[in-house]
A and B are shown apart, each in its own frame.
Chain A
Amino acid sequence: MEKRPHALLLKFPGTNCDAETARALEAVGFSADVLPISQVEPSKLEAVDLVVLSGGFSYGDYVMAGRLAQLVSENALGDSLKQFRDAGGYLLGICNGFQILTRMGLLPEGSLIHNDSGRFKCNWVKLKKSGLKDSPFLRALPDEFELPIAHAEGRFVTKQASEAEALVASGLGVLTYAEDINGSFSQIAGLQDESGRVLGLMPHPERFMEKAHHYDPDWTNVTGGKHGSGHYLFQSIFEEISKK
């Protein structure tokens, strides 16, 4: 039997999007395992193609979002996640996972802080793909597409606003909101690292896998595909890994 690409989802106390993210990965062809952080050690990364940090509230996010998860992960894994990436592995952080990857330093420097409204916000947003740099996670997606967001701490900031602008200009700011959603500098919604193998984004692709997930019953895919936008994100990275 042909070996399918394998995804490993790390689960912290308070991670709560792991089941549907695993379901989404399996829907495009991955095999997927959810591993509670108490069981995580460097050897568990062997034979893994994609490490996923899914959404939720790790440890309640009572300190800065993702901070405790970062410390616990580093304690469990040391710098194995960096080695995993350097060895050609892929990492995806969604929402809380994006916050954690940012705190770990696996993504360009910056911070995800409270939305400028001071509120949790659950709604659908229009996103723009930068297109300046190729992203193996986004290839099958059109230049503009929609996904739902649900976060209180999704405002991406850098020390100087110019640093965020530079991220967009360099193409690392791979995803931006079409409108100002939460006060993010340069309306950044998602970032990748220099290698392109690490992607973090605030919106939730796993919640828009099929047409029926969209709020408008008459929504159609501009590219003519039969799935929701999120499907194509997972499909892109599946194809990237499969062709290796």
Chain B
Amino acid sequence: MSFYCHIPITELNGAELEKLSSDMKLSLSRVDMEAVQVIFRDWKREPTDVELEVIAQTWSEHCKHRIFGAEITHVKDGKSEVVSSLFMTYIKELSEEIFARKPGFVLSAFHDNAGFIELDDKLAICLKVETHNHPSAIEPYAGANTGLGGVIRDILGAGKGAKPIASLDVFCFGAPDTAADEIKADGVIHPLGVMRGVVRGVRDYGNRMGIPTVGGAIQFDPSYIYNPLVYCGTAGVIPREYIDKEMSPGLKIISVGGRTGRDGLHGATFSSAALGTDSHEEDLQAVQIGNPIEEKKAADFVLEARDRNLIEFITDCGAGGYSSAAGEMLSEVGGEIFLDEVKLKEPGMVSWEIFISESQERMVLAVKEEDLPELKELADIYETELTELGNSDGSGILKVWHHGELVCELDCRPLHDAPTRHLQSTYTSPSGTASSRDIECMDPAADLKALLGDFAIVSREPVIREYDHEVQGNTLLKPLAGAAGDAPQDAAVMNIDGSERLMAMSQALLPEWGKYDPFAMGAACVDECFRQLVAAGSNPDKIALLDNFCVGNPEDPKELGELVECVKGMAGAADAYSAPFISGKDSFYNYFETDEGPVSIPVTALISGIGVVDDKKHVTGASIRHADSVLCVIGATGDAMGGSVYGRQKELGDRAPLPVTHCDEHLELYRAYHEAVKNGWILAAHDIGEGGLAVALAEMGFSGKAGVEVQLEKMVTGEDASVTACLFAETPGRLLVEVAAADVPALLESMLGAAVAEIGRTTDAHRNLQISFDGKVLIDEALNELKAIWKNGLTPYY
């Protein structure tokens, strides 16, 4: 059997090139194939199968993010503009401008496995979030398992090896009570099966690795039945001197960790195409198999090797396997890889399979030859396998040898730039004008109960308890806290060994908003993430963000138009908050070919962020602490109800406008809030988000420490907000805070002229939530009864 072959392409016509790409599952377009043809015609030879596979990995949407780099002709309300690259224009260049505004804050971004920000003068922190949507749709447990495993390796491969210290996991599923006949295609796993598999997959990887899973969110919507979304993120910490790494000639390339098998072939290219009914059988090979203990051993090895200064360069084996890792290390400096050295899980693997396999738990390092003996000893100590793969040589050529033959010899320079894609997008601005007064709110108490029992809002406790969120002993603000230990918090705050400062981590996504106004969604997600980080105690000047987009079919101008608007909304808010993006990722082709046509997800942006908390005293929870405090709302409440959970329950659809995020005003209030935190005036703070003020009040009251009495007429409202809006609108920019009565004058004084109001108090007289307007009682419900609805919402399903 031959282990590699030459594939004649230089004489093929366009249709034949396209067929070849399809037959080999390369996911390269005709234009791409023609570009490859030009390169090989220039070189006057035919490519090997290994070379074609390497190019397909390099140019895949998964690795190259070509839609974010595409030239897009965007037509909004009939007006046309050309966006030369979403990534360059709205993410990279914008962020670099923000870096310049705060020198020394961002220490590395956009070129490594994760971006780093300053924690203090010795340490830096980083965060990376990835998606594992397609694998999780086909095999939920293994897909989510390796999704988390992969992003943990990103952190281990960031700088010269960062230590993973916290994870977050965000999922979008169909509702767990979806009726079987609502699923219009064969071979689709029921949302409940997807949810259980995904949660257990994350649980078993994170818990075994000993990394606390402290953050997360779950969204439920029928549009995710066919394409569930699984975002996995991990944060890390590193001594600053280990951030920079550089390749040079004469280094040894070694692999550490698991062996290489046929699991995970074509993962990168598979995730760059749509799913269909056949995917569940045909593409199973593209799903990897996880082994967290293998990765734990590799992690122990890497961190010890780093501390002994034995690592020159390191990266993880993710999409594209060795081909991507070696490509990253050798594409400029050049070098040789010997496939015969690779330890295999099974015999008979041909060259390309070994080179692109996405088998898990492998890290690739470049090290000095004289350090090899010490590294081998270290591998023995931690019982992980170390393999010498090759060396860097300064030739600029990537050479891959197998059985004594040169199976790949690529000058990577012509491959750096894949052909630019040209795409069309269209967008029509939303036109809803309905006011909140058009919604009938007959019984506010019943409406509040319905919200607390809505899948969008119910407690995620059954899921959270399956994650070890305390391992490493550094979780100060836990995902569930307050006096009873089970109330929701806005962000997680982690103690960092060796520093007086702490890290807050949070995330926001609002797909319901995106259905009607993706621009509003983009801005509001940035606001919510930023606000949650500030609420928990972060310094507003020390926050960095990540953007992760999931989109359906980018070739559909309407779907692409929604993405463009979302990115613009997001970029505008990040600019206003001077919160730079330090990393991001995108996932396209999240649509499914059913018998009744394709079903796409709504454009779904996850904004996650890390913030520096300057002092342990600034850590602020979201649960009421005392029975004699004052409650204040910081920020004005508007009338717009579009995109809200309440609006969805009342079937508002696109009839109402979505709230506008007034970033500049909000930022001023967040700064004032942070000063109040530093002054010790804030006992507790909760962001007002899904479900509006009424839900936020209930959630703060779930600590059981006090009853709550609020008078809505005291609220600061803009846009003539109605009582319904005061209760349930999701206007961005608002915080609900608990303050000791003695500190209220000082707090109000410090925010003079801003939209801040004392709206009520906590009391020991009862344990109810009482909300009135102009003397009329709207809601008077026992908090423990409200809590039972909220707390038990998911228990029948998980």
Tally of A interface residues using CB under 8 Å: 34
The answer to whether B625 touches A217, judged by C-beta atoms less than 8 angstroms apart, is: yes
Whether a CB of chain B sits under 8 angstroms from the CB of A171 is no
The answer to whether A14 touches B296, judged by C-beta atoms less than 8 angstroms apart, is: yes
**Which A residues, 17 to 60, have Cβ-Cβ distances below 8 Å to chain B?**
17, 19-20, 23-24, 36, 38-39, 55-57, 59-60
Whether a CB of chain A sits under 8 angstroms from the CB of B262 is no
Query: How distant is the Cα of A212 from the Cα of B300 in the complex, in angstroms?
Result: 28
The answer to whether A57 touches B381, judged by C-beta atoms less than 8 angstroms apart, is: no
> In the complex, which residues of chain B have a beta carbon less than 8 angstroms from the beta carbon of A215?
478, 480-482, 485
Whether a CB of chain A sits under 8 angstroms from the CB of B784 is no
The answer to whether A39 touches B210, judged by C-beta atoms less than 8 angstroms apart, is: no
The answer to whether A120 touches B293, judged by C-beta atoms less than 8 angstroms apart, is: no
> In the complex, which residues of chain A have a beta carbon less than 8 angstroms from the beta carbon of B381?
36, 38-39
Query: How distant is the Cα of A36 from the Cα of B210 in the complex, in angstroms?
Result: 16
Query: How distant is the Cα of A136 from the Cα of B483 in the complex, in angstroms?
Result: 31
The answer to whether A204 touches B472, judged by C-beta atoms less than 8 angstroms apart, is: no
The answer to whether A57 touches B616, judged by C-beta atoms less than 8 angstroms apart, is: no
Given A56-B210, A215-B481, also A20-B473 (CB < 8 A): yes
Query: How distant is the Cα of A20 from the Cα of B495 in the complex, in angstroms?
Result: 12
Query: How distant is the Cα of A223 from the Cα of B497 in the complex, in angstroms?
Result: 28
Whether a CB of chain B sits under 8 angstroms from the CB of A122 is yes
In the complex, identify which listed stretch (B412-420, B460-468, B786-794) lies at the interface while the others stay far away. Answer: B460-468
> In the complex, which residues of chain A have a beta carbon less than 8 angstroms from the beta carbon of B296?
13-14, 16
Given A122-B465, A216-B482, also A23-B470 (CB < 8 A): no
Whether a CB of chain A sits under 8 angstroms from the CB of B621 is yes
The answer to whether A212 touches B616, judged by C-beta atoms less than 8 angstroms apart, is: yes
The answer to whether A216 touches B485, judged by C-beta atoms less than 8 angstroms apart, is: yes
Whether a CB of chain B sits under 8 angstroms from the CB of A123 is yes
Given A60-B208, A215-B481, also A14-B465 (CB < 8 A): no
Query: How distant is the Cα of A124 from the Cα of B475 in the complex, in angstroms?
Result: 13
Whether a CB of chain B sits under 8 angstroms from the CB of A119 is yes
The answer to whether A209 touches B482, judged by C-beta atoms less than 8 angstroms apart, is: no
> In the complex, which residues of chain B have a beta carbon less than 8 angstroms from the beta carbon of A119?
465-466
Q: Which of B292, B470, B482, B619 contacts A150 (CB 8 A)?
A: B470
Query: How distant is the Cα of A124 from the Cα of B464 in the complex, in angstroms?
Result: 13
Query: Nearest chain B CB to A191's CB is how many angstroms away?
Result: 22
CB 8 Å contact bits of B470-513 with A (1 = contact, 0 = none): 11111110101111010000000001010000000000000000
The answer to whether B465 touches A121, judged by C-beta atoms less than 8 angstroms apart, is: yes
> In the complex, which residues of chain B have a beta carbon less than 8 angstroms from the beta carbon of A60?
208, 291-293
The answer to whether A23 touches B473, judged by C-beta atoms less than 8 angstroms apart, is: yes
Whether a CB of chain B sits under 8 angstroms from the CB of A207 is yes
The answer to whether B465 touches A123, judged by C-beta atoms less than 8 angstroms apart, is: yes
> In the complex, which residues of chain B have a beta carbon less than 8 angstroms from the beta carbon of A2?
none
The answer to whether B471 touches A16, judged by C-beta atoms less than 8 angstroms apart, is: yes
The answer to whether A23 touches B497, judged by C-beta atoms less than 8 angstroms apart, is: yes
Chain B's closest residue to A218 (CB) is B625
Chain A's closest residue to B493 (CB) is A212
Chain B's closest residue to A230 (CB) is B473
Chain B's closest residue to A212 (CB) is B476
Query: How distant is the Cα of A195 from the Cα of B471 in the complex, in angstroms?
Result: 30
> In the complex, which residues of chain B have a beta carbon less than 8 angstroms from the beta carbon of A19?
472
Interface size on B, as a range, is 35 or more
CB 8 Å contact bits of B604-637 with A (1 = contact, 0 = none): 0000000000001001010001000000000000
Given A20-B472, A120-B207, A148-B470, also A14-B293 (CB < 8 A): yes
Q: Which of B207, B293, B474, B625 contacts A13 (CB 8 A)?
A: B293
Whether a CB of chain A sits under 8 angstroms from the CB of B780 is no
**Which A residues, 146 to 166, have Cβ-Cβ distances below 8 Å to chain B?**
148, 150
The answer to whether A59 touches B293, judged by C-beta atoms less than 8 angstroms apart, is: yes
> In the complex, which residues of chain B have a beta carbon less than 8 angstroms from the beta carbon of A213?
473, 475-476
The answer to whether B472 touches A120, judged by C-beta atoms less than 8 angstroms apart, is: no
The answer to whether B473 touches A209, judged by C-beta atoms less than 8 angstroms apart, is: yes
> In the complex, which residues of chain B have a beta carbon less than 8 angstroms from the beta carbon of A13?
293, 296-297, 382-383
Chain B's closest residue to A11 (CB) is B300
Query: How distant is the Cα of A209 from the Cα of B625 in the complex, in angstroms?
Result: 22
Chain A's closest residue to B204 (CB) is A120
Whether a CB of chain A sits under 8 angstroms from the CB of B160 is no
The answer to whether B382 touches A150, judged by C-beta atoms less than 8 angstroms apart, is: no
Query: How distant is the Cα of A16 from the Cα of B470 in the complex, in angstroms?
Result: 12
Query: Nearest chain A CB to B237's CB is how many angstroms away?
Result: 12
Whether a CB of chain A sits under 8 angstroms from the CB of B203 is yes
The answer to whether B208 touches A16, judged by C-beta atoms less than 8 angstroms apart, is: yes
> In the complex, which residues of chain B have a beta carbon less than 8 angstroms from the beta carbon of A24?
473
Query: How distant is the Cα of A150 from the Cα of B471 in the complex, in angstroms?
Result: 8
Given A14-B293, A38-B380, A218-B625, also A150-B473 (CB < 8 A): no
**Which B residues, 125 to 151, have Cβ-Cβ distances below 8 Å to chain A?**
none
Whether a CB of chain A sits under 8 angstroms from the CB of B469 is yes
**Which B residues, 19 to 46, have Cβ-Cβ distances below 8 Å to chain A?**
none
CB 8 Å contact bits of B297-318 with A (1 = contact, 0 = none): 1001000000000000000000
> In the complex, which residues of chain A have a beta carbon less than 8 angstroms from the beta carbon of B480?
215
Chain A's closest residue to B474 (CB) is A20
Query: How distant is the Cα of A213 from the Cα of B497 in the complex, in angstroms?
Result: 14
Whether a CB of chain A sits under 8 angstroms from the CB of B209 is yes
Query: Nearest chain B CB to A141's CB is how many angstroms away?
Result: 18
Query: Nearest chain A CB to B496's CB is how many angstroms away?
Result: 13
> In the complex, which residues of chain B have a beta carbon less than 8 angstroms from the beta carbon of A38?
380-383
Query: How distant is the Cα of A217 from the Cα of B705 in the complex, in angstroms?
Result: 12
CB 8 Å contact bits of B86-108 with A (1 = contact, 0 = none): 00000000000000000000000
**Which A residues, 53 to 81, have Cβ-Cβ distances below 8 Å to chain B?**
55-57, 59-60
Query: Nearest chain B CB to A8's CB is how many angstroms away?
Result: 15
**Which A residues, 86 to 137, have Cβ-Cβ distances below 8 Å to chain B?**
119-124
Query: Chain A CB within 10 Å — which of B467, B474, B485 has the most?
Result: B485
CB 8 Å contact bits of B408-428 with A (1 = contact, 0 = none): 000000000000000000000
Given A60-B293, A204-B470, A212-B476, also A120-B485 (CB < 8 A): no
Chain B's closest residue to A14 (CB) is B293
> In the complex, which residues of chain A have a beta carbon less than 8 angstroms from the beta carbon of B481?
215-217
The answer to whether A120 touches B616, judged by C-beta atoms less than 8 angstroms apart, is: no
> In the complex, which residues of chain A have a beta carbon less than 8 angstroms from the beta carbon of B467?
120, 122
> In the complex, which residues of chain A have a beta carbon less than 8 angstroms from the beta carbon of B485?
123-124, 215-216
Given A122-B468, A216-B481, also A57-B473 (CB < 8 A): no
Query: Nearest chain B CB to A14's CB is how many angstroms away?
Result: 5
CB 8 Å contact bits of B207-241 with A (1 = contact, 0 = none): 11110000000000000000000000000000000
**Which B residues, 378 to 404, have Cβ-Cβ distances below 8 Å to chain A?**
380-383
Query: How distant is the Cα of A119 from the Cα of B621 in the complex, in angstroms?
Result: 28
Query: How distant is the Cα of A169 from the Cα of B632 in the complex, in angstroms?
Result: 54
Query: Nearest chain B CB to A155's CB is how many angstroms away?
Result: 16
Query: Nearest chain A CB to B108's CB is how many angstroms away?
Result: 25
Chain A's closest residue to B380 (CB) is A38
Query: How distant is the Cα of A204 from the Cα of B292 in the complex, in angstroms?
Result: 22
Q: Which of B466, B473, B483, B495 contacts A218 (CB 8 A)?
A: B483
Query: Chain B CB within 10 Å — which of A16, A17, A24, A215 has the most?
Result: A215
> In the complex, which residues of chain B have a beta carbon less than 8 angstroms from the beta carbon of A14?
208, 292-293, 296
Chain A's closest residue to B291 (CB) is A60
> In the complex, which residues of chain B have a beta carbon less than 8 angstroms from the beta carbon of A16?
208-210, 296, 471
Q: Which of B293, B382, B466, B621 contacts A122 (CB 8 A)?
A: B466
Interchain residue pairs with CB less than 8 A apart (14): A14-B293, A20-B472, A20-B473, A20-B474, A57-B207, A60-B291, A119-B466, A120-B465, A122-B464, A209-B473, A213-B475, A215-B481, A215-B482, A216-B483
A13-B296, A13-B383, A14-B292 known; 4 new pairs, CB 8 Å cut-off, are A36-B383, A120-B207, A122-B466, A213-B475
> 5 shortest A-B CB distances, which residue pairs?
A16-B210, A20-B473, A215-B485, A60-B293, A150-B468
